[in-house]
Structure 1
Amino acid sequence: MGHHGWGGRPPASNAEARQRIIDATARCIDRHGVTKTTLSDVANELGVTRQTVYRHFARISDIVGEVAAQGAESFVDQLVAHLRGVTDPAEAVVEGMVFCVRTIPTEPHLSLLLQLGDSGAFGRGATTGDAIAYGARMLHRFPVDWAAAGLTEDDLGGLAEMIMRLLTSFLQNPSDPAPDEARLRALLTRWLAPALARPSASLPGSG
């Protein structure tokens, strides 16, 4: 790598290098779209060689996944703000689901998760232990007293898994025509909300 790489400002650490690669990838995606963004584009954006990028990420899809994951953090902040004041567990979950189904496809970086196939957060990756644990942490940020509602930590893990599975279905296999918000809210209120209207029973063998 020449001394003019990284725009003349070499990163001070591996963490900074990774973040600058992620930021450069986000700019390339915004400019060219995810399908036309290559590792060479990212290297050129940074003024480094492809090998320099390879030292931090093995594949362009790995960097795209990081762009999407950081978009997810920002999205969760929006979701929590949207739910401010909604303290009923059933209402919070229903409104959260409606917000996700409506908003995720319109968020440029978050919607990348829909384009990562089975490895993405809304493909087979939705049911990994890490994804479910992330979902449970997200539920903890809801303005709901889950313990007072009778939900344990194990219950929140199960609820997070069900939410991820439902979101995967709604986002990857939308109805034709897609339901409007009122119909989606009514569907979730009828079939999902009752499970949160009372303390959930433990599944057989769940401990």
Structure 2
Amino acid sequence: MAHHGWGGRPPASDAEARQRIVDATARCIGRHGVRKTTLSDVAGELGVTRQTVYRHFARISDIVGEVAAQGAESFVDRLVAHLQGIGDPAEAVVEGMMFCVRTIPTEPRLSLLLQLDDSSAFGRGATTADAIAYGAQMLQRFPVDWEDAGIGADDLNGLAEMIMRLLTSLLQHPSEPPHDDAELRALLDRWLAPALRRPSVAVQGAGR
């Protein structure tokens, strides 16, 4: 690995080099915006050549994706902490959706996902197998006994897909005029929450 540039402080490893590239990209995006940030900007921020950046990332979109991914890790930790004490599946999912819709646009690194093309996590990438699997893993971290609620591992994949599709729509195409918190919560309570609740004994008996 070449040690030229880097502000006179060459990285000690490839991992450190990649992280410094990611951090430099985040700074450039803060100044120029995601669509105007180029590999040349990142290289200039670090005092290295474009070729040095290319050794670690093939495209600027790959670096931006890593910037967003690192923000996502911290975000999920805070989401799970926010849900502590909510053991009901329907309540946890609705509250989690509310947290995501209101928080993601305000998170500098996470909001990048809303500005990328359709391959991003909140574009067509939201329905890839990897994105759905990640969503299911996130749901497993909720303070919910999914098995006791009658929701198995395969169900979590389906639930994760529906959540990702709904989040994509809510984030990319908000209602006009926008829903306030009470209106959005009422919408989710009416149309999403019932799918996560067991039918009552009375309803089960009536269907026989």
TM-score for the superposition, normalised by structure 1: 0.92
Q: 1:120-199 counterparts in 2 under 5 A? A: 120-198=120-198
Structure 2 gaps of 5+ residues are: 200-208
Q: Secondary structure at the match of 1:118?
A: coil
State the partner residue of 1:73: 73
Q: 1:181-206: per-residue Cα shift (whole Å, max 9, x none)?
A: 1111111111111111028xxxxxxx
State the partner residue of 1:22: 22
Change (3 A) 1:140 1:2: closer
- Whole-Å Cα distance in 2 between the matches of residues 97 and 77 of structure 1? 15
* CA radius of gyration, larger in: 2
Change (3 A) 1:3 1:149: closer
Change (3 A) 1:126 1:3: closer
State the partner residue of 1:39: 39
State the partner residue of 1:9: 9
User: How far apart are 1:7 and its partner, in Å?
Assistant: 2.1
Contact 2:3 2:11 in 1 (8 A): no
Q: Secondary structure at the match of 2:142?
A: coil
Q: 1:75-98: per-residue Cα shift (whole Å, max 9, x none)?
A: 111211211111100000001001
User: How many pairs are equivalent?
Assistant: 199
- Whole-Å Cα distance in 2 between the matches of residues 60 and 40 of structure 1? 10
Contact 2:2 2:52 in 1 (8 A): no
User: How far apart are 1:173 and its partner, in Å?
Assistant: 1.1
Structure 1 gaps of 5+ residues are: 200-207
State the partner residue of 2:205: none
Change (3 A) 1:44 1:144: same
User: How far apart are 1:172 and its partner, in Å?
Assistant: 1.0
- Whole-Å Cα distance in 1 between the matches of residues 35 and 166 of structure 2? 26
User: How far apart are 1:2 and its partner, in Å?
Assistant: 7.8
State the partner residue of 1:202: none
Q: 1:6-28: per-residue Cα shift (whole Å, max 9, x none)?
A: 12222232222111111110111
- Structure 1 counterpart of 2:117, one-letter code: G
- Whole-Å Cα distance in 2 between the matches of residues 123 and 28 of structure 1? 23
- Structure 2 counterpart of 1:185, one-letter code: R
Q: 1:130-184: per-residue Cα shift (whole Å, max 9, x none)?
A: 0001001111111111111111110111100000000011111111011111111
Change (3 A) 1:167 1:2: closer
Contact 2:86 2:143 in 1 (8 A): yes
- Whole-Å Cα distance in 2 between the matches of residues 188 and 64 of structure 1? 31
Q: 1:105-154: per-residue Cα shift (whole Å, max 9, x none)?
A: 11111000011120110100000010001001111111111111111110
Percent identity over paired residues: 84
- Whole-Å Cα distance in 1 between the matches of residues 29 and 198 of structure 2? 45
